[in-house]
Amino acid sequence: MAERSFKSEVKKLTAGAGEVFTGEGILAVTKGLLQSGVAYVGGYQGSPISHLMDVFADANDLLASLGVHFETSASEATAAAMLAASVNYPLRGAVTWKSVVGTNVASDALSNVASGGVKGGALIIVGEDYGEGSSIMQERTHAFAMKSQMWLLDPRPNLTSMVDAVEQGFRLSEASNTPVMLQLRVRSCHMTGSFIAKDNVRPAMTVGEAAAAPVRDLQRIVLPPANFQHEVEKIEKRWPAGIAYVRNNRLNEWFGQDSDTPEIGIIVQGGLYNNLNRAMELLDLADAYGGSRIAIYCLNVAYPLIPEEVSAFCAGKQAVLVIEEGQPEFIEHELNTLVRRADLQTRIVGKDMLPRSGEYSAAVIRDGLGKFLRAHAPHLAPAEAKPDPLPREVAMEIPQRPAGFCTGCPERPVFAAMKLVEKELGPTHVSADIGCHLFSILPPFDIGNTTMGYGLGAAGASAFKPKDKRAIAVMGDGGFWHNGLTSGIGNAVFNKDDTVTLIIDNGYSAATGGQDILSSRADNPVRATKNPIARAVQGVGAKWVRLVERTYDVAKMRDLLREAMTSSEKGPKVIVAQSECMLNKQRRVKREQGKVLANGGRVVRERFGVDSDTCTGDHACIRLSGCPSLTIKSNPDPLRQDPVTHVENSCVGCGLCGENAHAAILCPSFYRARIVSNPTGWEKFRQGWRARIVGWMQARDDRARMARAF
């Protein structure tokens, strides 16, 4: 299962010619693929393009009716290698993944397909996860497109432009025999809008038909001497063909050509156009519909640039502002080269007016545009805005909201156990990994020294071979199947690394939206699940392998970690810690309980609480757990000052707080309560008598206390 079902959205994908399609940007791109006659689709989920994968996973019947092959790839490298189908056959194929992290993983296959070239259209949809909402290193896809000479589309953020970019991307790829990258920013993927749909198109050739009539072309294989010819083809054939297609089909756009300020202009990446238009609105230089008082050249194709279009736009202008997000400023450098080659004296202005790093929001662009106008068009320039920082006293009232584990997360007890072992044996180097468990680097755990990439936790610890203290590597089940089995465990076995690897098996690729993976315990009608991680680890030669079937048993986790750290046995030690992702479990359980309640059935839920009279107020339980449901409240005892621990109603009854109290020998103030909906008659009768007896005893105690009062 994924974090949500897209069965209802899949129905929208059947829209025919002339119908108005309304939905999210990533859903529109999915429809664009089907309208383009795509033959196969693959990819690896990740923000912000997970929904594309999840929608296709829920559209099996529709895809089967069109003859489209879809699969969830084991990694981005697996997805990129699928594009081999377009090398010798007229098959349109699309693959997708998250931004530069995915492109890095896929780089080997991408370089090969870019070298040999393609016959069918090959589209690489990259979710550009850049800016304040990003969870990865701040880099851009642009550099890779330039390095391998693949064309990069960056369409304006509206559904019509994005769907057009999908369709034109395939045509551009076929016209120039070159893979095309389609960059979609976070806001583009999740914006809503509408466009006029077309009929879905069955691929001209299906993958089954291609497999039945195999074709072999030695000139497409990247081996000498063909690989030397590939470079020549790129420059002498594919590059001119790509330039010609972009120019002849006017994929880039012009706005405000009749402006009253011909001496200046703006060149902007397509994906930033909406933010630019909003910034110009705020400066009374544009309206909400794109009417601009300044000439704008919008680069829906960010690479390659079209020399004739650049020189035509810049001719006669004194200065042009380039709005290019991130660094290095590839577009600005290339524009300077093209302008000089055209013998134009136009000044190209970019990073000297705009920040060299960070996301270009409308406010950032507005400030940069203001600086540009004050320097080159003072009659349009706004008054210089004074900074309006948040008053210190107000800023101090805003609570910090660091990233952290969900309530009841099964990974939290693992790190609680690690803290207990650390208290006994002292700190050690901890190699972290991509995934939810990376939140352990933050308080209250403060665990984790480095993270090198998805599934590379064990590999990141391979250089540490201390004599008296073993390094610990942590990876999730998603990272394990993505890359960790070979790069981590296999590498550790081969090199006899004396390390401890902790694999957290929560049953899903939780960090990317809860998709099923090889080791998921769920039944999946179209995927093979229930393949144990422990068996795979043993299959590559690991000897010391232990399985914990319930991570919430903190004492057992602590003892097993201590054993792994102190064992006299050499070689890699692997612990597989299992418990279902609580977020996915709650989605499943609440849905099941809702059906039972709707039919009047009995449902029992567990909650934990803290006895305020017993709590000492030292809050060690909070420091060891960090659960969002644990907070504090005023002490009911007037003679005690310290606030007591309190469990909010968001508690899901995982029991970790009680386990921590037991394992760490904390105060026994936690209690477990059962909340029964639609109880039986016997339960009502029993609860009634309990209430009477407890009430009588409390009243008796109150009378006794009053008798002794003075």
Between the CA atoms of 510, 433, 147 and 51, what dihedral angle is there, to the nearest 10 degrees?
10
pLDDT at residue 95 in the model: 97
Which is nearest to 626 in space by CA: 396, 398, 411? 411
Higher model confidence: residue 123 or residue 5? 123
Q: Per-residue pLDDT tens for 543-585? A: 999 999 999 999 999 999 999 999 999 999 999 999 999 888 8
Distance of CA 573 to the CA centre of its chain: 30
Over residues 653-677, mean pLDDT: 80
Those residues whose C-beta lies under 8 Å from the C-beta of residue 220, and which sit 6 or more positions away, are: 87, 88, 116, 117, 226
**Beta-carbon neighbour count of residue 310 at 10 Å?**
25
Over residues 341-362, mean pLDDT: 93
Strand partners, 603: 677
pLDDT interval class at 417 (50, 70, 90): very high
pLDDT at residue 147 in the model: 93
Higher model confidence: residue 533 or residue 669? 533
What does the alpha-carbon distance between residue 522 and residue 508 come to, in Å, rounded to a whole number?
9
Between the CA atoms of 52, 58, 64 and 69, what dihedral angle is there, to the nearest 10 degrees?
40
pLDDT interval class at 516 (50, 70, 90): confident
pLDDT at 488 over 80: yes
pLDDT at residue 710 in the model: 60
Query: What secondary structure, in 3-state letters, does 4-24 show?
Result: CCCHHHHHHCCCCCCCEEEEE
Phi and psi angles of residue 249, each rounded to the nearest 5 degrees, phi first = -100, 5
Q: Per-residue pLDDT tens for 318-328? A: 999 999 998 88
pLDDT at residue 2 in the model: 61
What does the mean pLDDT of the chain come to? 90
Higher model confidence: residue 537 or residue 661? 537
**Beta-carbon neighbour count of residue 600 at 10 Å?**
8
Q: Which of helix, strand or coil describes residue 452?
A: coil
What does the alpha-carbon distance between residue 76 and residue 105 come to, in Å, rounded to a whole number?
6
Those residues whose C-beta lies under 8 Å from the C-beta of residue 323, and which sit 6 or more positions away, are: 266, 267, 268, 269, 272, 276, 350, 354, 360, 365, 368
pLDDT at residue 387 in the model: 65
pLDDT interval class at 673 (50, 70, 90): confident
pLDDT at residue 19 in the model: 96
Distances (CA, A) of 589 to 110, 240, 593: 42, 58, 6
What does the alpha-carbon distance between residue 8 and residue 141 come to, in Å, rounded to a whole number?
33
What does the alpha-carbon distance between residue 695 and residue 149 come to, in Å, rounded to a whole number?
79
pLDDT at residue 176 in the model: 97
Show the tokens assigned to 19: 């119908």
pLDDT at residue 540 in the model: 94
**Beta-carbon neighbour count of residue 234 at 10 Å?**
20
What does the alpha-carbon distance between residue 84 and residue 87 come to, in Å, rounded to a whole number?
5
Is the separation of the CB atoms in 349 and 377 below 8 Å?
no
What does the alpha-carbon distance between residue 704 and residue 698 come to, in Å, rounded to a whole number?
10
What does the alpha-carbon distance between residue 423 and residue 664 come to, in Å, rounded to a whole number?
10
Higher model confidence: residue 34 or residue 597? 34
pLDDT at residue 398 in the model: 79
Over residues 147-167, mean pLDDT: 96
Strand partners, 125: 96, 182
Question: Which amino acid appears at position 112 of this protein?
Answer: N
Question: Which amino acid appears at position 694 of this protein?
Answer: V
pLDDT interval class at 663 (50, 70, 90): confident
Q: Is 57 left (phi over 0), alpha (psi -120 to 50) or beta?
A: alpha
pLDDT at residue 1 in the model: 53
pLDDT at residue 194 in the model: 95
Strand order in the sheet with 450-451: 450-451, 430-432, 472-476, 500-505, 573-578, 544-548
Higher model confidence: residue 166 or residue 661? 166
pLDDT at residue 386 in the model: 67
Distances (CA, A) of 552 to 180, 606, 617, 659: 47, 15, 24, 7
Q: Per-residue pLDDT tens for 418-461? A: 999 999 999 999 999 888 888 888 888 889 888 888 888 898 88
Strand partners, 607: 673
Q: Which of helix, strand or coil describes residue 649?
A: coil
Lowest-confidence pick of 64-68, 448-452, 465-469: 465-469
Asked whether the bond before 48 is cis by omega within 30 degrees of 0, the reply is yes
Under DSSP, the state recorded for 385 is P
Q: Per-residue pLDDT tens for 194-243? A: 999 999 999 999 999 999 999 988 888 888 998 899 999 999 999 999 99
Q: Which of helix, strand or coil describes residue 493?
A: helix
Q: Per-residue pLDDT tens for 122-149? A: 999 999 888 777 778 888 899 999 999 9
Burial zone of 501 (CB within 10 Å; 0-12 exposed, 13-18 middle, 19+ buried): buried
Those residues whose C-beta lies under 8 Å from the C-beta of residue 706, and which sit 6 or more positions away, are: none
Higher model confidence: residue 160 or residue 662? 160
Strands 151-153, 180-185: pairing kind: parallel
Is the separation of the CB atoms in 469 and 425 below 8 Å?
yes
Phi and psi angles of residue 67, each rounded to the nearest 5 degrees, phi first = 75, 30
pLDDT interval class at 264 (50, 70, 90): very high
pLDDT at 388 over 70: no
Percent of the chain exceeding pLDDT 90 equals: 57
Over residues 681-693, mean pLDDT: 90
Q: Is 186 left (phi over 0), alpha (psi -120 to 50) or beta?
A: alpha
pLDDT interval class at 91 (50, 70, 90): very high
pLDDT at 106 over 60: yes
| Helices and strands per DSSP (H, E), number in the chain | 28, 24
